[in-house]
Every structure is written in structure tokens, then in C-alpha cells.
Amino acid sequence: VWGLYVGGREEREMDAGGHHHMQAGPPGGADITVLAEPMAPAYDEAFHAAGPAMVDPMAEEKFQPQQPQQRGGDQRKSTKNLTALGKKGLLEEFKKRREIPFWISAHFERLRNREIVFIVDDSGSMGCSIDDFSIPREDAKRIMQATGLQVIRRWDELKYYLEYVLELAVCFDEDGLDLIGLNRPAKKSVNNLQGLTDFFQKEPEGTTPLYTVLEAVLKEHVPGTKKVIIIATDGVPNDRSLADFRNLVRRRAGKSAAETPIVFMICTDNDSDVDYLDGLDRAPWVGVVDDYRTEKEQIKDRDRRRQYSPGAHVCNILMNWVPELDRMDESKCCVLL
């Protein structure tokens, strides 16, 4: 997808190898040169032929992606060199395009200056099919054609979600996301689609050492800095007892917990796989987010339930640790600060 440069200019020229060189910068400012890579592998093409969407297929509530400019294929521009004005423009564009309701966007400042860390469950079970997936049928067909499978896997849907999470994340953290797998090397500072695709290139396999990986992330935290930790998983940790894992999450207290909030992103349509998370979302600075349709159905306030767009769901994944959003499934929720 294209990154936006607000209030600037842009020039392109193609070299002999077919790459596009882009000059972009603010009026009167220094130029920024970006090399746009050629089209990604076929698996990536399938996701973007009509654009990803996180949506209830029964409701046909389309989540339309930002359309790339059709000049020489899929151009990807890093947001790393954008000014504060450029990032603000990206965020405003995201809010409009994704139809983010005010009661969610009012909390966007909570993400500013926070490192965004995704702990990705890449165990073998993530290769299982998911019957009740939230990808529109047409996009699902393209994904299955690219993978050569007749099913949508948990792994496929997670990548699909993360593409839009990345779009929002780079508006706040110019380094993008840190992706930490349970069974593969971490990939830090992912701020473009190619980096995300590279991380997902290897198929899921292995065990679920959630306790060990989360403990390591928490130990690396520098007091006085801020991050948000999202744990995308479809099952239970098998490197320690469930009681030990719950205690690891809960024992973060006071300032430390506020600096390292945790959101669990459920990656399965089988609730019994993740019922050990029951009750954890009542702990301070902890949230649990289900799929789009389930989250929307659980919102008690009728007006807010109607306003809960797929784009709002993306924001919820990053911010469900905010008390006002964590309480959306209660009778009184989302009181603005």
C-alpha cells in the first residue's frame, strides 16, 4: 500500500532494473529518497488483489483498503522519514478511510510514544483451518488460490489482520512493529508490508512457549519507557502451568503495568482453546479481543455497536488495554477522558 506524504511533493523515475526512485519532501525541505520494491510474491498479491478486509461476511460490510496508484505495480514507501505533520496526515486519512468512531479515536494519544510489540503464536496449531473466519468470501478465494489450499488457516487470517494493524501502528511508532515469534527469530522495526510478508513466509510449526517469550519481553523493558504488548494466540502455553502464566500477567503492578499493557488477540473460533484467558481481562492494563463479529455483538451500547466498524476493530486490537475500551461489553462503557 502507499504511504501518504502530506503537504509535500513527489517525483518518480524508473531505473534500468524497473525500480521506481521517488523523491519526496516538504516544500523547501530536504528530499527523501525511497526505493520502491517490485511486486511481492504471489501470496502477497492474493491479499491485495481487491484489498484485505476484516468483516462479517454475512453482513457484507466491506472494509475497503487504500487503493495504490497504478504506476509500475505495487509501490511501498516507508513512513520512517515522515515528519510529524506527515504522520498526523496519515492518521487523519486512516480515521476517515476506516470510519473510526470518535469514542475510539479520542484515545489515540494513548498510543503515542509507545513501542508496539506483537508476540506471534507460530506454533503448529496456527496451521489449522478456521471455519468461522472474518475474511470476505472473494478475498478468501484469492488466498486459497495462492496457498493452494481449500481452507483459510488461522495463520492466514492473522496476517490479514496485521496488515491493517501495521497501517495504524506506523502513525504512532515510526519503527512500526516488533514481531516476536515463538519458534522463529524476531523481526524488529517492521514498518512496511514487505517486512510483514517476510516474517510470515515460513509456515507455522513448533510448540507454544508463551510464558518464556512473554517473560523475556517483560525483562527487556526499560523502566520509564512505554510499550504495548499484543499476544496473538490460538491456544495455551505449554512451557509452564496455566497458573504460572496467569500470575506472570497479573503480577505486573502499578507503574510497571501501565508501561507494559497487554492485549490478547484470539486467533481461533473455538472458545475452549482459550478459555484460560477468562478473567484475565479484568486485571488492570490487560485486554482480550475476539474476532470482529464477536466483539461487535458483545458491545452493550446499541449506538456504539452500530458504529463499530472493521477499522474500529483494528484500533481495538491495539488499545483494548484502555479501560474505557476494555469495558465495551459492559452496560456502561467508553466514557471519554
Residue range 147-196, pLDDT digits in tens: 899 999 999 999 988 988 999 999 987 789 999 999 999 999 999 999 99
Average pLDDT over residues 102-130: 95
pLDDT above 80 (res 59): no
Contact indicator for 74, 290 with CB cutoff of 8 Å: no
CA 225-231-236 angle, to 5 degrees, is: 135
pLDDT value, residue 273: 85
pLDDT tens per residue, range 293-318: 889 999 989 999 999 998 899 999 99
Location of C-alpha cell 511481492: 40
Q: What CATH topology corresponds to 40-63+98-326?
A: Rossmann fold (3.40.50)
Beta bridge pairs of residue 266:
233
27 pLDDT higher than 90 = no
pLDDT exceeds cutoff 70 at 30: no
**CB contact at 8 A, 291 and 317:** no
Domain ranges of the chain: 40-63+98-326
Query: How do residues 86-111 score in pLDDT, each as one tens digit?
Result: 788 889 999 999 899 999 999 999 99
Q: What is the mean pLDDT of residues 66-81?
A: 41
SS3 helix, strand, coil % of the chain, rounded to 5? 40, 15, 45
Task: Give me the long-range contacts of 139-148 (CB less than 8 A, separation at least 24).
Answer: 139/47, 139/49, 139/50, 139/51, 139/52, 139/53, 140/57, 142/46, 142/47, 142/49, 142/50, 143/46, 143/47, 145/46, 146/42, 146/43, 146/45, 146/46, 147/43, 147/46
